[in-house]
Amino acid sequence: MISKLLSSIRFSFRQIISDNKINVVILILDIIRLVLNALLLVFIPKMIINELLDGENQMALLYIVSFCIVLGVDNIITNLINVRKKILSTNTKLKMNQLLGRTIMDMEYVELEKKEVLDNIHFAKKCIKQDSVIKMYQIIIDIVSGTITVIGMLYILFQLNVFLISVIICSVIVSTIGEMYRLQFIFEREMESNEVERNLYYARNDLATNKYAKDIRLFNLHNFVSRKVEKYSDMLCQIWVKTSMKSVRIIGWTYIVNGVQQVLVYSVLAYMCYVKEIDVSEYIFYTTATIGFSNALKNIFKAFVSMISENKYIQGIVSLVKDDRDEKINEEVIVFKQDIEFQNVSFKYPGAKENSINDISIKINKGEKCALVGTNGAGKTTFVKLLTGIYRPTMGKILIDGIELDYQKISNFWKKFSCVFQDYNTYAFSIKDNIIFDNIKNIDDMNEIIRTLGLSSKIEQLNDGVDSLLNREIN
């Protein structure tokens, strides 16, 4: 667990530093700001009251004005830091979504048909959306600033009453246990709701796109889709209600314990003030110190519990995403000169009981024209996906010019094929982008393709020519 926790911290800070090294400076500045705030809130009120009791009204006024100026400056710094954190959050989410997207695109196609893989992808998207990396960044700030504050407050309170410290520590421990259970309940809720959310998003979002509009109207599926949305929404609500009830029962006890702690602390300090052991300024001084100590200690424990919780979410990202620095691109070109051969190739889909293709052996020579003929479900599409390297054989080999296909170089192998499947896609970019994508070298080929397809005159009639957008999603 510790190794995973450290890997989550390293991953988080790698994303933060790669965004901008100034984020480290902001982290240090934020820690200093939080510690100074906690200490000033303890010492300044005592200094003001002492001056007022001594009749030094001008000095008390000077302290008040200085304190207001400090609070104003702190407010400006806080706003600047928060703006920077929002920028960092946006940049980090964008980068991690790109990393996750590339990882999904590089997965074996058959993996994307497994339920557990789809659940993991959905969970990783949720983890990115809920800002787990930025939360880990804030957790480190809270732990460091809280530790320094606790040390300062302990120095003050040890001069007063060890009993108060014991009461606060006991209260914090109870609060920490409650927080630990609450975060565990939330994590269980997120895991349990994964599949339901995927079904809900499909019924509510995907089926609302133009792709399904014609079929829904033609077959009068409005009520059917609405019932699906209602069903999955109800299931999701039930999961949330169940988790919320568990959390309320736990959090209720922590509120009671915290209330008892405050009553005990204030009562002891009030009694000490009543019997003249401390004066009014010291009463306020020690009261704010106990509050500062209690809050700082709670923040430390809560931060450690949150760190363990966020580690689970970050591991949901780390387990999937592939960092750019870990990627080794193999530019070696696969040369096809003679033939492609299947040797006793079989393939079985994940979770299937029987093979979709069983013990196929065939050799296709370069220049040959082949047609695959068969009934529905005979395995024609599966064969083509094996041929193009989208699927890997469950058994057997695929040979290129007598050499077994190396799936480490599969992206170069894909360049040898031009496939149009039944479930083909066009992209909501320009005509040019749909033909050559980002390969500028293929512009001459693009013009030849347009001429061959007889689309030259139609494209010339468009205002933007080959730069015209193909679909309506963007424009």
Rounded to whole angstroms, the Cα distance separating 295 from 196 reads: 38
> Which residues lie across from 357 on neighbouring strands?
347
Can you give the pLDDT at residue 345? 93
Q: Classify the C-alpha dihedral 65-67-71-76 as positive or negative.
A: positive
DSSP state of 339: E
What the block records as the tokens of 314 is: 């970050």
Measure Cα distances from 26 to 238, 304, 307, 331 in Å.
42, 21, 20, 41
Can you give the pLDDT at residue 280? 83
Rounded to whole angstroms, the Cα distance separating 155 from 80 reads: 32
- Which one, of 9, 111, 67, lies nearest residue 59 by Cα? 67
Considering only CA atoms, give the Rg of the chain.
32
What the block records as the tokens of 142 is: 């809270």
What the block records as the tokens of 116 is: 């557990």
Q: What is the mean pLDDT for each group of 10 consecutive residues in the chain (475 residues)?
A: 82 83 88 89 86 85 89 90 88 86 77 79 84 87 90 81 79 82 83 86 84 79 87 91 83 82 85 85 85 85 84 80 52 73 89 85 89 86 87 89 81 77 74 76 78 86 83 56
Residue type, 346: S
pTM score > 0.85 for this model? no
Do 421 and 381 touch, CB atoms closer than 8 A?
yes
Q: Classify the C-alpha dihedral 293-294-296-297 as positive or negative.
A: positive
Q: Which residues contact 322 (CB under 8 A, 6 or more apart)?
A: 99, 102, 103, 106
Can you give the pLDDT at residue 325? 44
Can you give the pLDDT at residue 326? 45
- The helix or strand, by DSSP H or E, that contains position 344, with its residue range, turns out to be strand 339-347
Rounded to whole angstroms, the Cα distance separating 27 from 173 reads: 27
Q: Is 200 helix (H, G, I), strand (E, B) or coil?
A: helix
Sheet holding 339-347, edge to edge: 357-365, 339-347, 395-400, 403-404
- The helix or strand, by DSSP H or E, that contains position 403, with its residue range, turns out to be strand 403-404
Q: Cα 406 vs. chain centroid, distance in angstroms? A: 33
- Which one, of 171, 227, 178, 187, lies nearest residue 204 by Cα? 227
